[in-house]
């Protein structure tokens, strides 16, 4: 029988690129989708994927979807820095991952690749250099999203302790074309509208295609019981925003925001989102994080499988060009071309 690869979160940003690579490689892919999942990001390959309707929080539907599966890419997760979504995010990310792990074990599924996040490694102001050996510790710099991803990753490691073959990837800020109104892709829309301020800190950035390519390479390797940071480059937020603004042909931000103005900014944004009943663009957590600098080490995956990351400048150039070509025309979705 032909092996079946199962993907959760296939209609999301990272998952959509992963599906495109798997389909290109001739893999028999079964992907989970909710009844109301938008299919914009996977429209061009939708007919090449075996779709099953269900939810990672609905165990009966999930169990039926995972019957006969050989391996699993668990990409589904909820990303939110809105305090109103905290409980839901915790449930989706932690309980959803526990359900995947439990079914992998009970259905004798061979291997699980869990898409985690650099947020799950934890952040400490006095320890800005982070690699895969980082130990989680409670810190005010750990957002609720970070806590949810840390606990979700713990479920994956629990599965390994119970006999499951597991590998984990921890992507940094994922960059690329997708839905211009969602996830990190919305950075291009935000910057295109003009930003005068930039935060003081910095972080890591990675091309969305690298996340997909590295995940597949690790799934197909003999590596087990390891985590890998997926990070192309560490950059100051000012440098990333200036690069992006330049490619979008708008004036780059020139004023540092910190201290009292920073505190006022997130409170104004919180009030605006409450009055308009919209999703806040920036929150206390996100602004607090961007005020600090962290450097993420990518040596482990480069040495383990010889992985080469795409340069972020090239990714921003390609993504910005697509944004300028599509968004002003009312086209809300675009995808980068897959690479070898």
- pLDDT by residue (tens digit) across 222-241? 999 999 999 999 999 999 99
Q: What is the mean pLDDT of residues 92-98?
A: 98
292 compared with 15, residue with greater pLDDT: 15
Which pLDDT score is estimated for 289? 78
Q: State pTM to two decimals.
A: 0.94
Q: 311 CB contacts (<8 Å, ≥6 apart)?
A: 232, 233
Instruction: Locate all alpha helices (DSSP H) within the chain, ordered by sequence.
Output: 13-24, 59-66, 86-90, 96-106, 144-161, 186-192, 208-219, 237-247, 259-276, 284-290, 299-305, 312-326
Grade residue 321 by pLDDT with cuts at 50, 70 and 90: very high
Which pLDDT score is estimated for 231? 98
Q: What is the mean pLDDT of residues 241-249?
A: 97
Which pLDDT score is estimated for 263? 60
For residue range 148-178, list pLDDT tens digits in order. 999 999 999 999 999 999 999 999 999 999 9
Q: DSSP letter string over 221-257?
A: SS--SEEEEE-SEEEEHHHHHHHHHHHTTSPPP-EE-
Which pLDDT score is estimated for 269? 60
Q: What is the mean pLDDT of residues 42-48?
A: 96
CATH number of 5-178+204-233+295-311: 3.40.50.720
Grade residue 267 by pLDDT with cuts at 50, 70 and 90: low
Residue 106 confidence (pLDDT) above 80: yes
Which pLDDT score is estimated for 150? 97
Q: What is the mean pLDDT of residues 22-42?
A: 96
- Name which of 82, 85, 42, 50 is nearest 68 in CA terms: 50
Contact call for residues 261 and 294 (beta carbons, < 8 A): no
Residue 274 confidence (pLDDT) above 70: no
14 compared with 200, residue with greater pLDDT: 14
Contact call for residues 148 and 155 (beta carbons, < 8 A): no
Which pLDDT score is estimated for 268? 63
Rounded mean pLDDT of the chain? 92
Residue 259 confidence (pLDDT) above 80: no
Which pLDDT score is estimated for 124? 85
Share of the chain above pLDDT 90, in %: 78
């Amino acid at each position: 029988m032909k092996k079946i690869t199962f993907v959760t979160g296939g209609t999301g940003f990272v998952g959509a690129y992963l599906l495109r690579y798997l389909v290109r490689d001739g893999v028999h892919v079964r992907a989970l989708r909710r009844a109301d999942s938008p299919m914009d990001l996977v429209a061009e390959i939708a007919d090449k994927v075996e779709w099953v309707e269900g939810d990672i929080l609905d165990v009966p539907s999930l169990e039926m979807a995972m019957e006969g599966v050989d391996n699993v890419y668990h990409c589904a997760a909820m990303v939110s820095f809105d305090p109103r979504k905290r409980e839901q995010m915790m449930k989706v990310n932690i309980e959803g991952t526990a359900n995947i792990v439990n079914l992998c074990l009970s259905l004798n599924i061979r291997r699980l690749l869990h898409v985690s996040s650099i947020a799950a490694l934890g952040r400490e102001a006095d320890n800005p250099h982070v690699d895969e050996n980082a130990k989680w510790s409670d810190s005010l710099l750990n957002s609720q999203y970070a806590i949810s991803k840390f606990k979700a990753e713990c479920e994956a490691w629990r599965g390994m302790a119970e006999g499951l073959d597991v590998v984990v990837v921890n992507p940094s800020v994922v960059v690329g074309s997708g839905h211009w109104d969602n996830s990190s892709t919305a950075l291009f829309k935000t910057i295109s509208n003009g930003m005068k301020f930039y935060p003081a800190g910095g972080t890591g950035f990675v091309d969305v295609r690298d996340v997909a390519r590295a995940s597949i390479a690790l799934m197909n390797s003999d590596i087990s019981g390891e985590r890998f940071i997926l990070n192309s480059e560490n950059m100051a937020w000012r440098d990333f925003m200036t690069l992006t603004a330049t490619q979008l042909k708008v004036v780059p931000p020139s004023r540092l925001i910190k201290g009292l103005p920073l505190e006022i900014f997130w409170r104004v944004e919180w009030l605006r989102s409450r009055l308009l009943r919209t999703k806040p663009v920036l929150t206390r957590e996100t602004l607090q994080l961007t005020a600090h600098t962290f450097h993420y080490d990518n040596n482990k995956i480069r040495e383990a499988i010889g992985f080469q990351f795409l340069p972020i400048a090239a990714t921003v150039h390609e993504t910005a060009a697509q944004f300028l070509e599509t968004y002003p025309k009312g086209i809300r979705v675009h995808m980068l071309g897959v690479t070898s």
